[in-house]
Structure 1
Amino acid sequence: MGKGSVDRGEGPAVFRSDTEEKWYLLIDEFGGRGYVLFETDDLGSGKWTVSAEYELPPGARHGSVLPVTQEEYERLLGAYAMG
């Protein structure tokens, strides 16, 4: 996965979109850009493309993706928002 799109990768994490029929894959390109986000609309195909637009916190590595409710999201923003 990601051949030709990342130099070397580790720590993959796959998760399903909450808003559309899509799956995402995060791969940590160590020694390079950090996490690179891929996407597919057919998980069984094994074909992933680099997502066109995404933004992650600087230094993000080997994380997890967890679903949160709107209320939990707002509490997290209130507690950890940078600004």
Structure 2
Amino acid sequence: MKKVIVFFNAEPIAVVSVMKGITSILRTYPNGQDVHLPIMSAGFPSLTGDHKVVHVASDRDLSSDEILEAAKKLS
């Protein structure tokens, strides 16, 4: 299982667990429209040589700062 941070619509950030082979997450807008959010991986190297990978699904463009801030908040 992998944990995915989901940014969707105006809802609060959520974390969902999915099986490793899953490549998208289904969400539904208030108007009933379904959308498949692709799961992406974002890597964050540190000064100590560590490398953290965060899985993200979103219906909008995100900056790396937004992803990193959400990962820190939810960890």
Calculate the TM-score normalised by the size of structure 1.
0.27
More strand by share: 2
Higher relative contact order by CA 8 Å / sep ≥ 6: 1 or 2? 2
**Structure with max Cα Rg:** 1
